[in-house]
Structure 1
Amino acid sequence: QLDNDDVRSTKGTESFTFTKSQYEKLVNLLQSTPAPQPAGPSTQVNGASTSNLASTFVHHSSGNASIAYSYNNSSCGAWIIDSGASDHICSNLALLDNHHEIVPIQVRMPNGTIAFAKHAGSVKLGPSFTVDNVLLVPEFSLNLLSVPRLTYNSKFVVSFDGLACLIQEKRNLKMIGSGELIEGLYYLTNKPKPVTVNINTTPAQTSAIHIPTQALWHFRLGHFSHARLQLMQSYFPFVTLDTTSVCDICHLARHRKLPYKLN
């Protein structure tokens, strides 16, 4: 028989006693526990809820995704370069160009709620820096750049050091973006930091010699031979090679002495 003060359960010779308030808390706890997910495609949170880490987005072929970390101090327009994200994520539809509907991808947020990515598009981050297949997750407060997606098919080269991150085009190593380390996260900066070089020049030192575009790399590399330039061109297509003209400097450098002038 149960009374109003406690609930007793006996099994054999052992007796366990709960007060009424403890019993109510236990019932509420059991009711608030989420039911197990059915077998099949599901999503999981892969990390702890740390407030100062970038969110990780995992895109599976089954159409599911999970966000492992949350960061609440990021502005809506900032982009974080994330090596753990497998897809680009955008939280604002206004940032997407040529957006279109996609098959909904299920996303489990860090707080346990479920969101769906229903749109994707491209984002222009610089004059020559555009990323495609960016997924829209309005419920997420971050914009993430996925390093694996940037380096897919060797389109870009991404390098990190202790203070910055560089994004370059693979075909010509042109820097198209950079990231700055802020509180453990690499934030994309649209304007690369300028490099200051102090050179003391005078008008008398200024040269007006015009170098043909085809011979530019020949001069830059210290008058490389045609054979070596052809080898470099096979690895770096942007290296130009002029096989028709003759370099006067290279021609005179092979002379043991300058020719005599005829009077």
Structure 2
Amino acid sequence: MTPILTTLQNLKELDEPLHITIPTGDIIMVKQKGNVEFGNIKLMDVLYIPQFSCNLISIHKLTRDLNCMVTFFVDNCMIQDKVTKKTIRLGDQCDRVYVLKVASQGSSLATQFQNASTLWHARMGHPSHQVLSKLSNHLNFHFNANKLEGCDVCHRSKQCMLLLFLVIIKQIKHLN
């Protein structure tokens, strides 16, 4: 639900008006709906309620439409993709209400896989190209090593191993 008409795209009249009880206890009539897109979140059939003072998101509708899960903590909340477990959006608790953070322009908190090879690489626990090629033959899925995009997780894990190796070498030198 939103009170901001300019955020709605594809604004349409409802087939029949809805009567909604708002937090003040007043019953209002809703006549219009539209779609809202903010960052990587696209919500369909958002109700236009000019009497509201803020935007409200139905968790049920959000999780159903985006195929995501929402985890609430004492001070914050997190929206995650169900399949990839990637964070879509974060929110902070403020006055007993969870407020979603606005992603800065040009950045996205969610990662979308561009091809099936990259997706399989992530789902299988980031195995090497050779292992994925062998698995693809046995498990009947298509894997193309040439289409595998740079994997941030693999890159970082190799950096940690190198750092650990350098620390061990340094300790051995001190023992000698």
In the superposition, the TM-score normalised over structure 2's length comes to: 0.58
> CA 1:174–1:191 in 2, change beyond 3 Å: closer, same or farther?
same
Specify the alignment match of 2:60 in structure 1. Answer: 148
Number of residues paired by the alignment?
132
After the TM superposition, list the runs of 4 or more consecutive aligned residues in structure 1 that deviate by more than 3 angstroms.
Answer: 109-113, 213-216, 222-230, 240-244
Q: Deviations 1:9-56 (Å, cap 9, x if unpaired)?
A: xxxxxxxxxxxxxxxxxxxxxxxxxxxxxxxxxxxxxxxxxxxxxxxx
The Cα shift of 1:182 comes to 1.4
Percent identity between matched residues is 26
Aligned CA-pair RMSD = 3.9
The Cα shift of 1:92 comes to 1.7
| Alignment partners' CA distance in 1, 2:117 and 2:24 | 59
Q: Which protein is richer in helix relative to its size? A: 2
Specify the alignment match of 2:157 in structure 1. Answer: none
> CA 1:166–1:228 in 2, change beyond 3 Å: closer, same or farther?
farther
Specify the alignment match of 2:2 in structure 1. Answer: 90
Specify the alignment match of 1:122 in structure 2. Answer: 35
Q: Deviations 1:124-153 (Å, cap 9, x if unpaired)?
A: 111x21111111111122210111001116
| Alignment partners' CA distance in 2, 1:177 and 1:139 | 27
Specify the alignment match of 1:217 in structure 2. Answer: 121
Query: Is the 2:43–2:65 contact (alpha carbons within 8 Å) kept by the matching residues of 1?
Result: no
In structure 2, the gaps of 5 or more residues are 110-115, 147-176
Give the AA of the match of 1:221: H
Equivalences for 1:55-94 in 2 at 5 Å? 89-94=1-6
| Alignment partners' CA distance in 1, 2:134 and 2:94 | 43
In structure 1, the gaps of 5 or more residues are 1-88, 196-212, 245-263
**Residues 1:241 and 2:170 aligned together:** no
The Cα shift of 1:113 comes to 3.3
The Cα shift of 1:188 comes to 0.7
Q: Larger Rg: 1 or 2?
A: 1
**Residues 1:104 and 2:23 aligned together:** no
Q: Secondary structure at the match of 2:47?
A: strand
**Residues 1:163 and 2:163 aligned together:** no
